Amino acid sequence: MTLCADDQIRGTLLTVLVALPSSVTDSGIADVASLLEDQAISTSWERTSSKDWSLLWLVDFKPSAKVLAAQIGKKIGLEVLPTNITIAPVPDVNWLEESYKQFPPFVVGPFFIYGSHFEDSPPKGKLPLLIDAATAFGSGEHGTTKGCLEALAKLEYEGVRPKRILDMGTGSGILAIAAYRLWKKPVLAIDNDREATRVAVRHRRINGIPAGEKGMSCASGNGYQARPVKQAKKFDVIIANILAGPLVEMAPNLAANLAKGGVAVLSGLLTTQEADVLAAHKAVGLKKKERIVHDDWCTLILEQKTADG
């Protein structure tokens, strides 16, 4: 079933705005977003102040509101009317300026996260994280990244003092930078996406963090098989904000690279996926120390099992 209107005219940029009720879950809205994943230029969604969903696609074709409503309804098991969908031409605005407005500074625990457009000084007593919205995931606002930042801050508060830190699937580099800000210890940031590595390197530079063994090292590679990981000693803290599937698959490698007494911070999983992720890590000698939940997203802090369990 095509989602395009009969004329199939392309070229003009349009926004497709969909309003959905608060009862739709995070996984449900992600399923809806996938409807135009291969055709849309960009996709974004958020909960409004009333907790309802606002989903926005940027496209270069005019979809059929009637067909799209039917497809959305099928995805979430609810009736969706064409009137829930607003299709409009993209206004002539300064998009760079608008993107800055969408990323105002904010605080997560001890961290102050801001973009390069922020002209004031970061507040005293906060650890600054200069992160620009980019093509790599991780600006700090998403529940998974926020949960990881809170987990790292909690570990530092509890007296965890790592000598070596690994950020597996670093994305924008925000978590690696946050870890360095907390502990001033070497951080290895790995991603299988070269674009993510490029973004992480840029963020390392603009945050004034030294490169190399005394600072933050960024590299592209296939997870724990990446050469810098294989050549390194074991890590006292491993951060992995990826997805549930890769977390399960990588559990044995994570355990093999975690130093004695080390801890792991895992995220990128829904609360419905928590049991599977935990089971995979329990099977390799880890146990749950704590969990942090934001909306439907879960962050886990894991530690090694002791002799008594």
| Structure tokens belonging to residue 218 | 């960024």
- Neighbouring residues of 263: CB distance < 8 A, sequence distance ≥ 6: 155, 160, 236, 237, 238, 289, 301, 302, 303
CA distance linking residue 71 with residue 194, whole number of Å: 35
CA distance linking residue 267 with residue 293, whole number of Å: 10
Residue 147's pLDDT is: 96
Residue 98's pLDDT is: 54
Residue 207's pLDDT is: 96
Residue 135's pLDDT is: 46
Residue 293's pLDDT is: 96
Report DSSP state, residue 24: S
Domains of the chain, residue spans: 10-92, 138-304
CA distance linking residue 208 with residue 273, whole number of Å: 37
Query: Are 153 and 182 spatial neighbours (Cβ–Cβ below 8 Å)?
Result: yes
CA distance linking residue 206 with residue 83, whole number of Å: 45
pTM, to two decimals: 0.69
Strands (E), the chain: 10-20, 42-47, 53-61, 85-89, 106-108, 111-114, 127-130, 165-168, 187-191, 216-220, 235-241, 258-270, 286-294, 297-304
Beta 286-294 vs 216-220: how paired, if at all? unpaired
| Structure tokens belonging to residue 2 | 């095509």
Residue 5's pLDDT is: 42
| Structure tokens belonging to residue 59 | 């496209």
**Domain 10-92 falls under CATH 3.30.70.1380:** yes
CATH architecture of 138-304: 3-Layer(aba) Sandwich (3.40)
Residue 138's pLDDT is: 52
Intrachain domains 10-92 and 138-304 with the same fold: no
Tokens 């879950």 correspond to 25
Q: In the chain, which residues have pLDDT < 50?
A: 1-10, 95-96, 135-136
Long-range Cβ contact pairs of 120-124 (< 8 A, separation 24 or more): none
- Distance in Å from the first CA to the final CA of the chain: 54
| Structure tokens belonging to residue 22 | 């608060």
